[in-house]
A and B are shown apart, each in its own frame.
Chain A
Amino acid sequence: GQNIDQPTEMTATEGAIVQINCTYQTSGFNGLFWYQQHAGEAPTFLSYNVLDGLEEKGRFSSFLSRSKGYSYLLLKELQMKDSASYLCAVRDLTGNYKLSFGAGTTVTVRA
């Protein structure tokens, strides 16, 4: 199985930068996903990394290091609407490509 760890909560100020770390252990890594989930709503897809390095998408970037079992999601120029839970999910090819999710990091953006 997979052990996926991410911090429970983070708080930051509007306009600032926040980095959400995710560490994982898996026997057949086949990709890492980040989702954003507002309270009571569906998770929405943010990013996907399968090779080492940084993927940038506007204000959001995601980084992966497969050798370290480590990823982070970087949120820049924080806005109030970025207050949400951010879910890290790992795909494992030995588990028929199933996704395993971390518990999520709740980010609170303050004015």
Chain B
Amino acid sequence: DGGITQSPKYLFRKEGQNVTLSCEQNLNHDAMYWYRQDPGQGLRLIYYSQIVNDFQKGDIAEGYSVSREKKESFPLTVTSAQKNPTAFYLCASSPRDGTDTQYFGPGTRLTVL
């Protein structure tokens, strides 16, 4: 089955710890995205990548980092510099670039205690 997977579904971390969220896709999509979703707000773009070994900051990149070493994988690290990391994190991909429809993974709910 082709799709986007994110793991884990739920993640708990202590304040001050870095944490890495996984996103994998086997759709052969070139572009991948990370969004954050908070109650009462629209999805906000954290980082995106249109090609391997290249990525750009989105609207709220501070306190986050990413890598794109493989086409299939786009992990997101939430660092201790992120002031309010508790949120629902969604990964998406699209076939080529921003001109294509984006398809979303199931999400990871991160809670920082």
Contacts and interface: CB of A to CB of B under 8 A. Distances in A.
Contacts of B2: none
Contacts, number: 54
A86 interface: no
Interface stretch (B14-22, B41-49, B64-72): B41-49
Query: Chain A, interface size: which category?
Result: 20 to 34
A103 B42 contact: yes
A41 B88 CA distance: 10
Nearest to A99: B102
Nearest to B4: A42
Contacts of A87: 42-43
A99 B93 CA distance: 12
Given A40-B109, A43-B90, A99 B104 contact: no
Interface in A21-58: 30, 33, 35, 40-45, 48
Q: Chain A's interface: helix, strand, loop or mixed, by majority?
A: strand
Interface in B75-107: 88, 90, 97-99, 101-107
Given A42-B106, A91-B98, 4 more contacts: A33-B101, A41-B106, A45-B103, A97-B97
19 contacts: A8-B40, A40-B107, A41-B106, A41-B107, A42-B4, A42-B104, A42-B106, A42-B107, A43-B43, A45-B102, A45-B103, A91-B99, A96-B98, A97-B99, A98-B45, A98-B58, A99-B43, A101-B35, A104-B42
Interface of A: 4, 8, 30, 33, 35, 40-45, 48, 87, 89, 91, 96-104
